[in-house]
Amino acid sequence: MVQKPRYAISSLSLGSNTYHDLPTKIKTASELGYHGIEIFMADFELFVDQVKSGCHTSLFTPQAPHTDNPAIEWECASAISRLCISLSISIPILQPFRNFENFESEFCLLQALNNAERWFKIAQCLGTDLVLVCSNFIESDFPITEDRLCKTMDDYLGAQVKAFRMLGQRAQNYGIRIGYEPLAWGTVINRWEQCWAVVKEVDMPNVGIILDSFNCLGRQYADPPLLSGIRPLPFSVLTSNLIALAQTIPADKLFFYQLADASRPLKPFESRPSRPARMCWSRSSRLFPCEQELGGFLPVLLLTQAVMKIGYQGWWSLEIFNTSLEEKDEGCPRRHGVRGMKGLRKLWTAVEESASGTESSL
């Protein structure tokens, strides 16, 4: 019998921070029955700016922090933590820590490690122990060539192992875990197998992998530059890959599971030097799980079944980017939160049915 997961949603998936602030999103998520909310760093940083401008004073006791206080980020993180505790909602993760990849020198790696310590302190104050580190799109020539530091893929992955081992050591000092996630449009690292190869070689208890249904399926199933939106491969290629995933990643090394579907492109997305097709598609077209009526077509259920076969018992968390999140009205966070909860419940029902041998309606 599969264990029912706890549900979370990313703060970014409840509306653009241009129109909807972080406390509002937290309150909305709590009211709708989510157990957790991911804190997206851009939302948090804007919250800090708003506090500096004199907003959200009711979240601070006995008085708002001084705007020139160098510890204002920590005070703001603590205020968000208190708000979440008061609303009985957890913060499972802080994300996304970017650009931890393709270091051209030891100095560049050291700078990135020092920057990570800022994140670790914020995470501590938020009351979470997990920081998401994503792979990256690299706006330059492909970084693996004979005239570069990394001449082969093995060189590149070896450099990532070294970097993540050092990152994990720093994170241990703060009681923080590191989750490595492949982005579908990553220039070099864009598949779960690559992230797992790094995590396995790092071999530290606080360094694991994060899977995102959009990023996994958006690379290994979908292809937005094509009119069909689907890679021209036999479906058995995907199912074999999911079987390998379930048989390869241990349950204790899968630190977090994020969920999103996406709409099939109405016309092919074009890749540009600074905007890969999968990035553009991701930013505009993600959907909540089980929204086939809106054009969702990724086999999210199949991936989720594979994740559950691992023995994963952690969070199911929604991470949605879509142009609809730019809606300005105050109902935007609730509309998206309701859609997300509906999708999670529908997906869970389908997982239960598949586990019991009942035919799913999906």
Average pLDDT over every residue of 256-267: 95
Q: What is the domain count for the chain?
A: 1
Distance CA 229, CA 265 (A): 6
Is there a cis peptide before residue 62, judged by omega within 30 degrees of 0?
Answer: yes
Q: Is the pLDDT of residue 360 over 60?
A: no
User: What stretches of the chain show up as alpha helix (H) in DSSP?
Assistant: 22-31, 41-52, 72-86, 106-126, 153-172, 192-202, 213-220, 235-248, 277-285, 300-310, 332-356
Reported pTM = 0.96
Contact by Cβ (8 Å): 360, 353 = yes
Q: Which two tokens stand for residue 216?
A: 């996994």
Residue 345 CB contacts under 8 Å (≥ 6 apart), including other chains: none
Q: Which two tokens stand for residue 194?
A: 């690559």
The pLDDT of residue 1 is 66
Contact by Cβ (8 Å): 49, 109 = no
Closest CA to 318 of 333, 302, 297: 333
Distance CA 322, CA 252 (A): 32
Q: Is the pLDDT of residue 15 over 60?
A: yes
The pLDDT of residue 361 is 40
CA distances from 240 to 221, 299, 301, 303, 362 (A): 12, 14, 15, 11, 21
Band (pLDDT 50/70/90 cuts) for residue 357 is confident
Q: Is the pLDDT of residue 45 over 90?
A: yes
The residue that leads in pLDDT, 3 or 103, is 103
In a domain, 304, yes or no: yes
Band (pLDDT 50/70/90 cuts) for residue 358 is low
In a domain, 240, yes or no: yes
Mean pLDDT of the chain, nearest integer: 95
pLDDT single digits (tens) 170-228: 999 999 999 999 999 999 999 999 999 999 999 999 999 999 999 999 999 999 999 89
Average pLDDT over every residue of 48-76: 87
- Read off φ and ψ for residue 361, nearest 5 degrees: -85, -5
Closest CA to 132 of 189, 180, 175: 180
Rg from Cα positions in the chain: 20
In a domain, 362, yes or no: no
pLDDT single digits (tens) 78-123: 999 999 999 999 999 999 999 999 998 999 999 999 999 999 999 9
Band (pLDDT 50/70/90 cuts) for residue 69 is confident
pLDDT single digits (tens) 282-334: 999 999 999 999 999 999 999 999 999 999 999 999 999 999 999 999 999 99
- Read off φ and ψ for residue 256, nearest 5 degrees: -165, 145
Q: Is the pLDDT of residue 68 over 90?
A: no
Among the ranges given (15-29, 228-242, 262-276), the one the predictor scored with the smallest mean pLDDT: 262-276
Q: Is the pLDDT of residue 36 over 50?
A: yes
In a domain, 359, yes or no: no
Residue 156 identity: Y
Distance CA 95, CA 225 (A): 28
Residue 26 CB contacts under 8 Å (≥ 6 apart), including other chains: 11, 37, 80, 83, 84, 87, 89
In a domain, 163, yes or no: yes
The DSSP code for 124 is H
The pLDDT of residue 167 is 98
Q: Which domain holds residue 41?
A: 6-354
pLDDT single digits (tens) 121-162: 999 999 999 999 999 999 888 999 887 889 999 999 999 999
CB-side exposure of 206: number of CA atoms within 13 Å?
A: 19
The pLDDT of residue 30 is 98
CATH number where 227 lies: 3.20.20.150
Band (pLDDT 50/70/90 cuts) for residue 362 is very low
Residue 144 identity: I
Contact by Cβ (8 Å): 9, 34 = yes
271: exposed, middle or buried (C-beta count within 10 Å: 0-12, 13-18, 19+)?
Answer: middle
In a domain, 57, yes or no: yes
Q: Which two tokens stand for residue 203?
A: 């071999």
In a domain, 360, yes or no: no
The residue that leads in pLDDT, 357 or 91, is 91
